[in-house]
Structure 1
């Protein structure tokens, strides 16, 4: 999930300041709102604040099951090569993700180890343990839609890659990778299985 945040998070246009958009990757895939803003971080560096939301047809329990099935993320998330659960203790899971960020001729391998706090039935908090990010914090939140018609899915993250590339390219990579990750994840969530 996170490997796309740099790749992705891990997911193209060049950003300056903040971009908000409604996105649909392919016809028939769910539309989602996406905002990516580059702001000053606590350590003086620049971080990306990412906000995305969408409505999917799947019910919250199904969405929860997919979002916590970490080892299958690589089956449908682009540029994610593998995911491995390193440990599980009650509602805390440590997950390793291997993937890559690509933009034109630029390619960067990404390895993240994240700690996931599952707060069933509606919130998943993710924080960086180690890897190719200076900062990585993310949250998935699920809200049932009225009339049992599906789920509102929100993804919020703050990231700062460790690797250095020109700002215009880096911003494009983050925007593109987040959009691709969200499109793939929401398409999977919208299958109602």
Structure 2
């Protein structure tokens, strides 16, 4: 079902760049979504239901809320071919509605995770710019590791984009048309 809602270009338009610099793994993602920043925001900040539409998540929940800052817990497993890595993290998320999401790992099975997600209006579409800098707890094989991370990140953003489009279509189909609102 989710694949049927996807953009016909599949995920090839999701630009993912993975750099391994010493211990640091730096990931940059750019993609456009045919939705408003508000429609994109609702999905990217739906931490309570994220495990329903991001396949590598087994659990995602908000632990606490303080103003514009959330503490979230996520647990899952990243898999690519025969390689699989379980993960879990508790992160502090700071929200600047419809513009930016900052993320800082408090605990989990990485030594460091800092990230930002920015939303930019492109006139009828929203560009998502994602950047994260992590230090993994385990060694990452240079070539296979980069391919694995790129695959996982691309899949996550593909699934989130599909959810944004699905919700937008569901919202549009549930709104009454002018003629039906007047009883015509």
Could you report, residue by residue, the CA deviation over 1:9-34 in whole angstroms, capped at 9, with x for unpaired residues?
xxxxxxxxxxxxxxxx8735462211
User: Residue 68 of structure 1: CA displacement?
Assistant: 1.1
* Runs of at least 5 residues in structure 2 that lack an aligned partner in the other structure: 1-5, 172-184
* Runs of at least 5 residues in structure 1 that lack an aligned partner in the other structure: 1-24, 41-45
Aligned to 2:178: none
For residues 52 and 131 of structure 1, do their structure 2 counterparts lie closer, same or farther at Cα, with a shift above 3 Å needed?
Answer: same
Could you report, residue by residue, the CA deviation over 1:70-126 in whole angstroms, capped at 9, with x for unpaired residues?
111111112110101110001000000000122333322211101000011200000
Larger RCO of the pair (alpha carbons < 8 Å, separation 6+): 1
Aligned to 1:5: none
Aligned to 2:14: 32
For residues 166 and 37 of structure 1, do their structure 2 counterparts lie closer, same or farther at Cα, with a shift above 3 Å needed?
Answer: closer
Could you report, residue by residue, the CA deviation over 1:121-157 in whole angstroms, capped at 9, with x for unpaired residues?
20000010000111211111111113xx121111111
User: Residue 172 of structure 1: CA displacement?
Assistant: 2.7
Provide the rounded CA distance (Å) in 2 between the counterparts of 1:75 and 1:62: 17
Aligned-pair Cα RMSD in Å? 1.9
Provide the rounded CA distance (Å) in 2 between the counterparts of 1:170 and 1:101: 12
- The 3-state SS of whatever aligns with 2:144 is helix
Q: Is the 8 A contact 2:19 2:146 kept in 1?
A: no
Structure with higher Rg: it is 2
Q: TM-score, normalised on structure 1?
A: 0.76
Equivalent residue for 1:80, pick from 31, 46, 57: 57
Alignment coverage as a number of residue pairs: 162
For residues 150 and 27 of structure 1, do their structure 2 counterparts lie closer, same or farther at Cα, with a shift above 3 Å needed?
Answer: closer
Aligned to 1:190: 165
Aligned to 1:179: 154
For residues 167 and 33 of structure 1, do their structure 2 counterparts lie closer, same or farther at Cα, with a shift above 3 Å needed?
Answer: closer
Aligned to 1:160: 135
- The 3-state SS of whatever aligns with 1:71 is coil
* 4+ residue runs over 3 A deviation: 25-30, 164-169
Equivalent residue for 1:94, pick from 71, 84, 91: 71
Query: Which is richer in helix?
Result: 2
- The 3-state SS of whatever aligns with 1:179 is helix
